[in-house]
Amino acid sequence: MIFTDTHTHLYYEQDVEKQAQLMERCFENDVNRLFLPNVDVASIAMINDLVRKYPENCFAMAGLHPCDVKEDYTTQLDEIYKSIDGRNIYAIGEIGIDLYWDKTTLAIQQDAFRKQINWAKELSLPIVIHCREAFDEVFELLESERDEKLRGIFHCFTGNLAQAKQAIDLNFYLGIGGVVTYKKAGLDLVLADIPLQNLVLETDSPYLAPVPFRGKPNESSYLIYVAQKLADIYGVSIDEIANITTENSKKIFGV
C-alpha cells in the first residue's frame, strides 16, 4: 500500500532532526510519495534540499503562490522560471487566485496565473491550483485557456458539486485534504456524486490538519486520516483508496 501526498509544504520544517522525524512518520504510515509545491523564490532552495535528501520520495514543483504576487511579481516569476532549468519539475504550482487575503491584487494575480499556465503548456506539465474565494475568477481564466494541454489539480478543493464537475470537465483532479473530515464542511456530500477516479489525496501540511488533529500543525503522515474518511464515504477499503489515488497521481505527474 502506497499513499501519495500530492500537496505538502513539509520543507517548511528546517530543523534537520524534526524534518527527518516527519519523514520517518510518513514512511511508517505508508506515505511514500510527496509532491512539494513552490510558493516563492525563497522556497526553491528548501524544496531542492528535501528532494536531494529523499530523491525516491519527494518531487518538486515550481510556481509563485497568489498570496506572494506583489509589486515585484515579474522579477519573482523570472527567477522561478530560470530555476526550472536543470531540475526535475513535475508541475507548475502552486498558482492561482486568492481573494481571501487581498482583493486589490486581483489584476496582477490574474496576470501571474496566466503566465504560469503558459509555462506549464510550454513544458507539458500539469498545474496545481490554489483557489480561495475565487472560483468564478479562476474558472473564467481557465475557460479562456482551455485546450488539450491544460490539466492538473484543484488543490484543497472545497467547492460545490457544480464547481467540482466544471473542474473535472476542464481536465482537473480534485485535491482532497483534511477539510473532508470536518463535520460542517459538507465536502462528503459533494464527493458522494464524484467518482474516486477524479480524486487525489493531499495534506497541505502544516495547514488544515484533519480530525482528530484539527487546529494543530498538520503533517504528511496524517494523510491516512483523509484516506480513511474517503474509505468511509465510498464504502471501500483504505487499500483501494491508496491504490486509486496514487494511480491518479501518477497519471497527473508522470511519475
At 208-239, the pLDDT tens digits run 999 999 999 999 999 999 999 999 999 999 99
Confidence (pLDDT) at 216: 98
Closest CA to 67 of 35, 38, 46, 90: 38
CB 80 within 8 A of CB 41: yes
Q: What percent of the chain has pLDDT over 90?
A: 100
Please provide the average confidence, as pLDDT, over all residues in the chain. Answer: 97
Global confidence as pTM: 0.98
pLDDT class of 21 with cuts at 50, 70, 90: very high
- Tens of pLDDT, residue by residue over 106-130, are 999 999 999 999 999 999 999 999 9
Provide the edge-to-edge strand list for the sheet that holds 31-36. Answer: 3-5, 31-36, 58-62, 89-98, 127-132, 152-154, 172-176, 199-201
Report pLDDT for 73.
97
- With a CB cutoff of 8 Å and minimum separation 6, the contacts of 91 are 35, 37, 61, 63, 120, 125, 126, 127, 128, 152, 153, 252, 253
The whole-number pLDDT of residue 168 equals 98
CB 233 within 8 A of CB 12: no
Residue 237: per-residue pLDDT: 98
State the pLDDT at residue 190. Answer: 97
* pLDDT average, residue stretch 67-81: 97
Q: Residue holding cell 472545497? A: 158
Q: How confident is the model at residue 23 (pLDDT cuts 50, 70, 90)?
A: very high
Q: Which domains does the chain have, with CATH numbers?
A: 3-253 (3.20.20.140)
Residue type, 82: K
Please tell me the predicted confidence (pLDDT) of residue 14: 96
Q: Mean pLDDT, to the nearest integer, of 204-209?
A: 98
**Rounded-to-integer distance, Cα 207 and Cα 215, Å:** 9
